[in-house]
């Protein structure tokens, strides 16, 4: 793990206790909608593209940079509501993050959900660096990354090497949700004011770690444009199956498959 990643891990360790609360506060609750949108589109598209597979096969899903497990929460809910998508197959989900305190919170949250419902989902909890993970080659059928891409020290290297390495070469889908860099667009002047001033104010009131939320804004400012990220995917051997900006258009959804053509 490089020094950049070590610093990011320390930052997330320090804010884990207020992480969910601050996410909901700073997004006015829209982060819940964004994750639901991502999961809904990805599961339906996966079923559409990869309709084969027998009932004995296990679907393996990794949620990388999982944080406190909110994406997995939506995946479990969606699978239970639309079980026909995976034709009754067993689902193994890997909750992976490099922050142990975050994963502990995710485990408490997700185990409560599994206890309340009869589910075909099994969850495995993994501590690892997303950019150099412990997953085997070609082992994952779906890979989710929500709001983690901008925390990687080299996005293009991650896509072309690590992400592609762990994805099943026959039938797999990568699903990424990330803020887009709106700071060059005058149309989004309101959001620029919100990012630059209100986030700092709210962080000062509700969080002990103001620097962490300054990093949030700075990481969005440094993030490559959507066009550049789409090009990184195609240059890395992926085919974009579905791309779109999600209301209020400050978040982008990328759904990609390995281009085997």
Q: Output the domain CATH number for residue 92.
A: 3.40.50.150
Q: How many domains does one find in the chain?
A: 1
State the pLDDT at residue 261: 60
Nearest 5°: CA angle at 34, between 32 and 39?
A: 95
Structural domain of residue 55, as residue ranges?
3-258
Q: How confident is the model at residue 212 (pLDDT cuts 50, 70, 90)?
A: confident
d(CA 240, CA 120): 29
Q: Are 172 and 140 in contact (CB under 8 A)?
A: yes
**pLDDT tens-digit readout, 119-166:** 678 999 999 999 999 999 999 999 999 999 999 989 999 999 999 999
pLDDT at residue 210, as a whole number? 82
* pLDDT at residue 259 in the model: 85
Would the pTM of this model clear 0.75, i.e. be above it? yes
pLDDT tens digits, one per residue of 47-93: 888 765 555 678 999 999 999 999 999 999 888 776 556 767 788 99
């Amino acid at each position: 793990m490089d020094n950049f990643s070590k610093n990011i891990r320390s930052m997330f360790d320090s804010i884990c206790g207020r992480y969910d609360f601050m996410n909901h506060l700073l997004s006015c609750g829209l982060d819940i909608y964004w994750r639901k949108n991502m999961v809904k589109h990805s599961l339906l598209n996966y079923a559409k593209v990869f309709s084969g597979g027998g009932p004995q096969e296990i679907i393996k899903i990794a949620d990388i940079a999982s944080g406190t497990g909110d994406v997995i929460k939506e995946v479990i809910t969606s699978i239970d509501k639309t079980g026909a998508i995976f034709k009754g197959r067993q689902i193994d989900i890997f909750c992976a993050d490099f922050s142990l305190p975050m994963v502990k919170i995710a485990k408490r949250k997700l185990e409560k959900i599994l206890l309340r419902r009869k589910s075909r989902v099994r969850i495995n909890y993994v501590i690892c660096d997303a950019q150099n993970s412990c997953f085997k080659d070609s082992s994952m059928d779906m890979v989710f990354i929500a709001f983690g891409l901008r925390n990687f020290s080299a996005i293009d290297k991650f896509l072309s090497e690590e992400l592609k390495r762990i994805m099943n070469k026959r039938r797999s889908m990568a699903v990424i949700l990330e803020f887009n860099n709106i700071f060059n667009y005058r149309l989004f002047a309101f959001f620029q004011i919100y990012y630059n001033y209100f986030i700092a104010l709210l962080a000062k009131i509700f969080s002990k770690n103001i620097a962490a939320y300054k990093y949030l804004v700075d990481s969005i400012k440094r993030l490559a444009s959507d066009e550049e990220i789409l090009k990184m995917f195609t240059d890395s051997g992926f085919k974009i199956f579905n791309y779109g900006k999600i209301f209020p258009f400050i978040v982008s959804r990328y759904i990609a498959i390995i281009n085997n053509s």
